[in-house]
Structure 1
Amino acid sequence: MQLTSPIGVFDSGYGGLTVLREIVKKLPQYDYLYLGDNARAPYGPRSFDTVYQYTLECVQWFFSQGCELVVLACNTASAKALRTIQQKDLPRIDPSKRVLGVIRPTTEIIGNYSQTQEVGILGTSGTVQSGSYPIEIEKFFPDLKVYQEACPMWVPLVENNEYDKPGADYFIRQHIDQLMGQSGQIDTVLLACTHYPLLIDKIRKTLPPGTQIVSQGNIVADSLADYLQRHPGMERKISRGAGRVFYTTDSTADFDNHAAVFFGEPVHSLHLDLSKG
């Protein structure tokens, strides 16, 4: 299927499909082009410069496919690459195009969920080390106390289909105990990685009863809908064929097998070799 001007949705792997799933539910009329850079995943442990270079390469590919708007449905890419791409690269490549992330929409509303004004962030090492969430949250909720915990094993658990196995329990409890050990007043926990919704049942069982769990799919979908309403010029550029095309930089068979779990329906992907430009 050839899409003329789809919305691009990018992730280092499969996790962004949990965001795309909610976006499609909210805005089914548009065309969507998804790319998972599975061959170079995970992005979480990689340096800022490497994540930036990989993300920029993928964003430029989206632009070459006719995308006017690209959503980085990846917390690590949003944390380590988005600002530089927006400020340095877009003015040079094409000032009319837009690249959006998942951190800003989440930080704009996360404080509304907490009664104690203390929230916990569970994310990849890269997202936590970037400090992006505390920095952005302070702009909207300066009195909110933010505690973070990096969970480097969680993405590999999900991507290796171990997320619902008993072996995952140890790693989930380990990091939740470390997060909640920072403060007994944390009443809201943000899953700051798009892979983590697949672990939500185990996370819920491990957290203290009554703790709110916030995942990002609905938040990003609502934010995108609001963005398009406020930017009718951009909205008019997006093609409306309700098409969905999926690409991976790794094995299409592996991608399709995993992606169905994240996206909630069968996926048939195409292979992309970025080395060929």
Structure 2
Amino acid sequence: MDTIDVPNPQSAIRNPQSEAPIGIFDSGVGGLTVFRAIQRRLPSESLIYLGDTARIPYGVRSAATIERYARECAAFVQSRGVKAIVIACNTASAHAAEYLQSRCSVPVLGVIKPGARRAVEVTRNGRIGVIATEATVASEAYERAMVTIRSGLEITSRACPLFVPLAEEGWLNHPVTRQVAEEYLAELRHSRVDTLVLGCTHYPILRPVIEQTMGDEIEYVDSGEVVADGLAQMLEEERLACASGQKRSEEFYVTDSAARFRRVAELFLGRQLESVETVELGTI
């Protein structure tokens, strides 16, 4: 007797876009903290990473310039056929997330709202510190996100602009990095915060030095880990999750200094990268 193949109900309703990669972009190597968190949380997913290394740092640019840079980065990763875009940059999230969410044809996730939500969840005394770029601090994006969740919080924000070039240079435990951390974080130590938001995706690269300076009694909020959880939930809800066991791939692109990016990326990720390609960006 001939047998009849009955299709699996789950595969029958799988979105045809489920096998497409996820696009991630940042101003440089900092977004690799998000890349790594997503890779650990979603090991079957293919990932495309863009570091806009020609124009780093974003944190000292005007709001209009940051939005333009983010549009160009999003245009590139979307041109690679991605099923979702993660803005792995707090500065770009603060100034361009809403615009990109309204204009891109795929889901776009930022890092600020998930990070703010986690900080409010874990604080015990209501005193939260935020370290970020000058542009993110000036935008007050974290403060606005937190107070909509819970009133009565004491939020202390501190711009730490030198952390980005130190991370880009790979000075992860350098005496200069420790000295800069002492200078930047002194006010936060004295303000008795019990939760510290690493409000720039470069900063988790320097987390050992930050923890040495602030102490181990602080709750550290790494937005990459929180975004990875939110991305996993969104992919399941939209039936965009890649089937487990699928062969995954990864692609790395930069707009300049591919050799330096590769050196720091391999140091941070703890493995060699197959290739890093230099590209030019367009707009959407």
The normalised TM-score by structure 2 is 0.87
1:253 maps to: 259
2:125 maps to: 116
1:104 maps to: 113
The correspondence for 2:80, drawn from 65, 70, 94, is 65
The 1-side partners of 2:40 and 2:242 are apart by 19
The 2-side partners of 1:51 and 1:209 are apart by 34
Deviations 1:224-248 (A, max 9, x none): 111212222x4479xx531111111
Q: Does 1:148 pair with 2:157?
A: yes
- Aligned 1:90-101 pairs, distance under 5 A: 90=104, 94=105, 97-101=106-110
1:210 maps to: 217
1:136 maps to: 145
Summarize the Cα distance change of 1:227–1:53 in structure 2 as closer, same or farther, 3 Å threshold.
same
Q: Give the C-alpha shift of residue 259 in structure 1.
A: 1.0
- Aligned 1:123-202 pairs, distance under 5 A: 123-181=132-190, 183-184=191-192, 186-202=193-209
Q: Which moved more, 1:163-172 or 1:259-268?
A: 259-268
- Runs of 4 or more consecutive aligned structure 1 residues displaced over 3 Å after TM superposition: 234-237
- Listed as ranges, the gaps of 5+ residues in structure 1 are none
The normalised TM-score by structure 1 is 0.89
The 2-side partners of 1:62 and 1:154 are apart by 26
Deviations 1:86-128 (A, max 9, x none): 23x33xxx3xx12111111112221121110111001111111
Q: Does 1:227 pair with 2:234?
A: yes
Q: Give the C-alpha shift of residue 188 in structure 1.
A: 0.9
Percent sequence identity over matched residues? 37
Q: Which moved more, 1:52-61 or 1:201-210?
A: 201-210
**Higher Cα radius of gyration:** 2
Q: Give the C-alpha shift of residue 214 in structure 1.
A: 2.0
Would the aligned equivalents of 2:75 and 2:283 in 1 still touch at CA under 8 Å? no
Q: Give the C-alpha shift of residue 275 in structure 1.
A: 6.0
Q: Give the C-alpha shift of residue 266 in structure 1.
A: 1.5
Deviations 1:51-92 (A, max 9, x none): 1001101111111111131000111110111112223x33xx
2:37 maps to: 22
Deviations 1:131-176 (A, max 9, x none): 1001011122223221100001111111122231111122101111
Q: Which moved more, 1:203-212 or 1:141-150?
A: 203-212
Q: Give the C-alpha shift of residue 212 in structure 1.
A: 2.0
- Listed as ranges, the gaps of 5+ residues in structure 2 are 1-18
Q: CA RMSD in A?
A: 2.1
Summarize the Cα distance change of 1:227–1:276 in structure 2 as closer, same or farther, 3 Å threshold.
closer
Would the aligned equivalents of 2:196 and 2:221 in 1 still touch at CA under 8 Å? yes
